[in-house]
Chain A
Amino acid sequence: MAGKERKSTSKKRTVSGREEKPVATSKSEEFPKNTIIDMSSESEYDSSEDQEDDVIEGDFEDHSIIINAEDSDDDDEQEQEEEGESNDEIHSSDIEGASSEGEEADSEDLGSDSESDSELPLKRTTSRSTDGQATAVDSDSEAANDVLNDGETEHLLDEQDMKKLTIRDFGKDLESWREYRKTLPQIEPGYASDSSTEEPVNTIGNVPIEWYEDYPHIGYDVDGKRISKPATADELDKFLENMDNPDVFRTARDEVNQKDVTLSAKEIDIIRRIQGGDIPDADYDPYEDTVEWFTSQTMKTPLTGAPLTKRGFIPSKWEHKRVMQIVRAIRSGKITPGPPRPKPEKQAYDIWADADEEPKEDRRRRPRLAAPRLALPTHEESYHPPAEYLPTEEERAKWEATDPEDRKRSYLPRDFGSLRAVPGYSNFVNERFQRCLDLYLAPRMLKRTTNLNPDDFMPRLPDPRDLRPFPASESLVYTGHTGRVRSISVDPTGLWLLSGSDDGSVRLWELVTGRCARIWTLGGTVHAVAWCPNAEVSVFVAAVDSRVVVVVPSELCSSSHKMTVSEELVRSGFTTAAAQDEASDENLPVSWDVPTTAEQSTGIFISISMHKTVKSVTWHRRGDYLSTLTAEEGGGSVLIHQLSKHKSQRPFRKLKGAVQAVKFHPTKPWFLVTTQRYVRIYNLMQQRLVKTLQPGVKWISSVDVHPQGDNIIVGSYDKKLSWFDVDLSVKPYRSIRYHRQAIRQVQFSRRFPLFATASDDGTIQVYHGMVYDDLNQNPLIVPLKILRGHEIRNSLGVLDCVFHPIQPWLLSSGADGTIRLWT
């Protein structure tokens, strides 16, 4: 009964002034202090009843008086008077006692409530409107969960109760009214009188009650005193109570006041109705019979007895006059139906009379893009075209097979022979329609088609004829090899050519004549041959499978001195090697062997055996060191051998990726290791990485260093040639793509500003690659010549190419087993 209590507190406040006064014993004093001047007289009785119920049941159980509807107010008062002093207090504060007595009353209320409810229908026959009012107030009130509390409704009834104490109530007894007025302070019939604004017991306002969880009180009353927390039963008690209490289902918790509120059956009924969207009042009849305030029955006698006017029977004079006016006008011919108005004919006139001759340029407006004109007809469209313009059978079939939208021409050329045979063109309207569509639907755009002359783009290269000498034509073919010639090498004097082939032989050719001077059959694929660059000796190495043989060809040594120097160089190692053998790195997979006597007789002096196939052999410029590259992953693939000491080294403990090629730098102690994508330059003296070149290609095939050492060319299997200026950048200075197939070999000329690329497409491209001493001047690269001649076998073309050390000649070997000399 929280609502009730709240009400009572508010009452308390409003009448607090009065309490200080001495209590009057007169009847009038016992009336509850009404703050509302009631305008409705209807509900007085019921509400008074209700109030009395409350008062009596809630507070004075022992009396338990149920007052009938017929009970007069006076009775009421008298009864209450009997209650004595305290009664007055109770009246003034409505049911103040309830608040002090606490919750015990609540449960007891239930019974009485239901009792009163049961009586309500009887009493409430006339109280519909009041209830309606009450619900209206309910819906207005903000405390939603409290709205339908028992207390609330009761409170509203209380209000009604209070309302009855108006001047009317004192109708006969004006004296007492005046007394009553005197005793009561004037209350402003404003907000304070509105029940909805009456303060609740707990004045904490709209704050979560959880904030008070840790305090002994639950809030403050109007006087600012703490309202202590009611004792809460523990869970077990609650449970037991729940079990015992038959009204558990209708009990709700009032959190603000920390109380359980039991809803009455009436309230539950109201809740149900609201939930169901019905009118909350059960007694409200929305379909009442209408009260006919004005009768729909025709009266038997008219209201007035005035006779009908003459005006109603005779035709209007003015109307007649107007009609006659029109009639006269028609007669006199002023109004004629006339012929239908002729439509205004389109009159042509000189619309451009004021226009300028020259079109004005309006800067604010974008110039209109005229639609492109239709293409003018060609000979093909003629009704009798020349015979060569007529389509062949295939073309006709093709035209007919293609979709009309995809056709290049909308018509098929036809020869009608003579004009009389020409039929109408069935597509004519369609084509005009398409044109119309194009005109208004197709987006227009200004496309600048520059009439480009491709020659303007061509780089201004010097004429190749000015850059002579360079190898331009084939002059000699060395035939004899039966397999692919994988590698060729020219001796430092430029007289002899060495070639290693898949047929297992190494051939020595006299370069100028093409005579095969000697053949070494080494019994295995010769992957690489390389002359020692030292001109004082005559030594070459050949890589045969996993073996590298060092050969001193005796017939080349014109002087015995050279022969001895060569042999000394080759043999000297055996003595030192024996001593060093122990000290040297044991785990190197290399062994320097003395070849068999048979081999020795052919000039093979040393045989260096390795575990894997040797792919390539490169000499250092001095001619003492040579590097081999074997077909394996990691650092073990690259080895550097010293010929004079028969010593092998492994420069890299580990290397990323498969090494494609290695090269000694011609001027610096640098060593180039080419992996699949990068060229790494290592300084062998300092044992560190100098630079990593990034050609931006997928798979590098070969690399060569310019004799001056600052420029490097890299060829790749993806057809690209990249020129690097090592001082400038790690990115290529120039990338050239000409070859149609993979580049196999790139080679600088040692003597001329030339370089060449050999490719699988069977061509060799010769470039002029001039490097200037002036550092500011970029190297000049001019393609000079494409040399064709090698045949393509199994999609392999030219495998190796080498420049002559002295002459501007180029030698190339191919998969077709030939070696060619280009001069």
Chain B
Amino acid sequence: MGKIVKKFTQGASKTYITRNRALKKLQVSLADFRRLCILKGIYPVEPRNRKRANKGSTALTTFYYAKDIKLLLSEPLINKFREHKIFLRRLKNAIGKNDITRAKSLEDNRPQYTLDHLVVERYPTFIEALRDLDDALCMVFLFSTMPAKGPVDSKVIEECKRLSCEFMHYAIHTHSLRKVFLSIKGIYYQADIQGQPITWIVPYQFNQHVPQEVDFKIMGTFLEFYRTLLGFVNYRLYSSINLSYPPKIDQRMDDSAAGLGSLQIKSREIDDLIKSLPADAVADKSSIEVDESDEKAAEDSEKINERLSTLGSKIKSIVAAAASEETHEAPSYSAVESSAADDGDNVKPENLLFGKHVIFLSREVPRYSLEFVIRAFGGRLGWPTTSGGGSPYQETDNAITIQISDRPVLATQHPNRVYVQPQWVYDCVNARCLLDTADYLVGQKLPAHLSPFVEYAEGDYIPEAAIKMAAAAGFEGEVTTLQSDDRDEDGSEQQHSKSKNDIDSDDEEDNEDEEEEEEEADNDENEESDEGMDGESADEDEEASDEEEAARIKAEKQYQQQILAERAGLTFSEYQQKFGNKKSKAAAGSSAGAASNGNSNKSKRGASKRTKAQIDEEERERIAISMLSKKKRKLVNRTRDEEYKRSKDINALKVRKAEIQNGKKSKARK
């Protein structure tokens, strides 16, 4: 017999440690422990057997890996936290005793700590950090929109603003933005950075609602780490494209709400050059700076700005316009862009999506989002001074080809300019081509905005707009066959091609070559599913007689009924049993009534044949399942259930779509 092993000294009880035991071991308070866990990225785990892990107790507890907690023991932060605790106590004492000098000196010597080491510890390689950047970006972008006098320190908000701006600049420089989606929650962006898809969401530009139940201490701790992480990530990203980091903020521009334009992006060489210059030469560095305005001018403009804040808005706009005229020739970003483009990117701005357009944003559109998106796709843009300073173009500029406006009616329209709604920009990005502006003209009812993140599996429901968009992405030939049943579509198609000729050039298609292949595949699928979905409607002829029409409607109704029955949980065979008699009667009637209607007959026969085959298949499968062992049967049934649920959802969408179409048709007939 082997040595008797004492209970709970090996295995799960050693691998895991409960939270309370961890607290005891680390000698920290729960709040500190939580902070540590957040900063170090330590998460609770679920042991395979809770009872064994908790030394025989079944009490409800959280478990951590004992090794993780061991790792925390040697964490220098623990000591820093203790120091801070003592510092707080001293400070409190000093303040309580009204010892101001002591309190001040204490405050000056406030214990500092950095989280730098945690960044490398958690993400040993840069790629890992990139992979985990989603949450960090979401948080930083959220806090950059938080009210300055809210629950968060305004300095933190400033830093968040800076970090988010820097990151967006990188995305603009490398043109790495891929997808954009206007959701009801905010705007989703997806960038492809060094092969990693990074998705983040930015709330709409409104004052953030700060709920009571949210614990900003926890969020602040997360943000603390995310800020550090994003700082390093930004540094690395900037240095990877040979830009100096951190970029200087042009205070003047920033004050005039220039947004992205307030960052002075310099390439590294210039920075190095400045550093290498002797000290006396540095005083004259303004000549080297990209921004052409000299110090004096900057001072002047600062003064002006100060005055502006007190003046009325009318004068303000006039002066701002004057100021922007000064910088008109060399807008800050365009200069940098050219330098960045020279550095390594072979992408010429003209080859990008909006590369050949000058876009003007009206006052009412979300400027920051559109600026980011348009610039990331090579567009040049201007905006009115009312929505921020630093605009390189005025509304009256003749170079402007597209104006983005979001009003029901436009008072004045400039010639040689297309007025579109903002959705056009986002849809173009998602479609990876310039879409027909006809659908997006101001005042027009917009086509549905779809999520670019949805990937269609086989048999999934594909909304009509997706099919249209795929078609618009450059397959006119196939599109015509696809959309032949829709008269309206044809019209738009023509319009589309016309307008495309206006706006587009052939270069774009070269760019989209790779995408074409993908989309072709997509399109094929779409086509199939479309046919499967409503085959009857696809077969329909425009010159069909009334009889045919009636038969078609009947068939459609039947199909809908089928779907409804399926939704109600009836299997097809059950449905057949239920409606079999009715159906056969109807079939007899219809065949008698419209013997000439070969089309409908054929489809019906096809349907019946298919159902028989289906029944056979179904039955065989059911028989086979009955032969399985219980375990396997359950497994199979579960997967089948999932499939069934999925198909149920898809069917529900199909049904609703059919209902909507029917409603439209009946309206049209009236």
Enumerate chain A interface residues (CB-CB to B < 8 A).
340-341, 343-344, 346, 348-352, 355-360, 365-366, 368-371, 373-374, 376-379, 381-389, 392, 411, 413-414, 416-420, 422-433, 435-437, 439-445, 452, 454, 457-459, 461, 464, 736-738, 765, 781, 783, 786
Contacts and interface: CB of A to CB of B under 8 A. Distances in A.
Contacts of A384: 182, 423, 446, 448-449
Interface in B52-81: 62-63, 65, 67
Interface residues of B, number: 103
B193 to A, nearest CB: 14
A418 B183 CA distance: 12
A204 B578 CA distance: 107
Interface stretch (B203-211, B351-359, B483-491): B203-211
B231 A346 contact: yes
Contacts of B204: 422-425
B218 A355 contact: no
Given A384-B446, A444-B45, A376 B214 contact: no
A350 B135 CA distance: 21
Contacts of B37: 440
A427 B209 CA distance: 8
Contacts of A381: 181, 183-185, 451
A461 B627 contact: yes
Contacts of A376: 188, 199, 451, 453-454
A386 B462 CA distance: 11
Interface in B167-190: 181-186, 188
B46 A420 contact: no
Interface of B: 34, 37-38, 41-46, 62-63, 65, 67, 108, 112, 114, 116, 119-120, 122-129, 131-132, 134-135, 138-139, 142, 181-186, 188, 199, 203-204, 206-211, 213-215, 218-219, 222, 228, 231-232, 234-236, 239, 245-246, 364-366, 406-407, 421-423, 445-446, 448-451, 453-454, 463-465, 619-628, 632, 635-636, 639-640, 653, 656-657, 660
B184 A352 contact: no
Nearest to A453: B639
B626 A737 contact: yes
B627 A350 contact: no
A443 B43 contact: yes
B421 A419 contact: yes
Contacts of A457: 628, 632, 635-636
A369 B452 CA distance: 28
Contacts of A382: 181-184, 448-451
A122 B4 CA distance: 76
Nearest to A737: B626
A428 B65 contact: no
A382 B186 CA distance: 9
B45 to A, nearest CB: 5
Contact of B183 (A357, A365, A377, A387): A377
B199 A428 contact: no
Q: Which of A377, A378, A382 has the most CB of B within 10 A?
A: A377
Contacts of B445: 417
A452 B635 CA distance: 9
B142 A432 contact: yes
A424 B202 CA distance: 11
Contacts of A429: 142, 208-211, 214
**Top 4 A-B pairs ranked by shortest CB distance?**
A424-B206, A376-B453, A738-B626, A783-B623
Contacts of B119: 351
B46 A359 contact: no
A417 B406 CA distance: 11
9 contacts: A366-B67, A378-B453, A419-B366, A436-B38, A436-B139, A440-B222, A443-B63, A452-B635, A738-B626
Contact of A423 (B114, B188, B206): B206
A433 B215 contact: yes
Given A384-B449, A424-B208, 10 more contacts: A371-B132, A378-B454, A381-B181, A382-B451, A383-B449, A419-B406, A429-B214, A444-B44, A457-B628, A736-B627
A357 B114 CA distance: 25
**Which residue, B182, B218, B623, has most C-beta atoms of chain A within 10 A?**
B623
B112 A368 contact: no
Contacts of B406: 418-420
A428 B186 contact: yes
B240 to A, nearest CB: 10
Given A384-B423, A435-B135, A436-B218, A359 B209 contact: no
Contacts of A423: 204, 206
A472 to B, nearest CB: 11
Nearest to A382: B449
Contacts of A386: 448, 450, 463-465, 657
A425 B185 CA distance: 5
Contact of A432 (B219, B231, B365): B219
Contact of B639 (A378, A454, A736, A786): A454
Contact of B246 (A348, A370, A385, A781): A348
Contacts of A420: 364-365, 406-407
B183 A383 contact: yes
A765 B624 CA distance: 13
A783 B626 contact: yes
Contacts of A424: 203-204, 206-209
A374 B134 contact: yes
A452 B634 CA distance: 12
A344 B112 contact: yes
A428 B208 contact: yes
A786 B619 contact: yes
A433 B220 CA distance: 10
B214 to A, nearest CB: 5
A459 to B, nearest CB: 5
Contacts of B185: 377, 381, 411, 425, 427-428, 431
A348 B218 contact: no
A354 to B, nearest CB: 9
A454 B640 contact: yes
A442 B246 CA distance: 36
A345 to B, nearest CB: 10
A428 B234 CA distance: 25
B646 to A, nearest CB: 13
A767 B321 CA distance: 89
Contact of B636 (A356, A454, A736): A454
Contact of B126 (A352, A378, A389, A464): A352
Nearest to A783: B623
A419 B451 contact: no
Contacts of B235: 348-351
Given A384-B423, A442-B43, A414 B184 contact: yes
B449 A385 contact: yes
Contacts of A422: 182, 184, 204
B423 A738 contact: no
A431 B211 CA distance: 11
A436 B446 contact: no
Contact of A419 (B181, B186, B215, B422): B422
A375 B448 CA distance: 21
Contacts of B463: 379, 386, 388-389
A426 B209 contact: yes
A432 B124 CA distance: 26
A377 B453 contact: yes
Nearest to B62: A443
A589 to B, nearest CB: 44
B124 A355 contact: yes
B142 A738 contact: no
A366 B41 CA distance: 14
A344 B134 CA distance: 29
Given A349-B235, A429-B209, A359 B183 contact: no
A458 B617 CA distance: 13
Contacts of B120: 351-352, 355
A365 B138 contact: no
Contacts of A736: 626-627
A348 B628 CA distance: 62
A416 B422 CA distance: 14
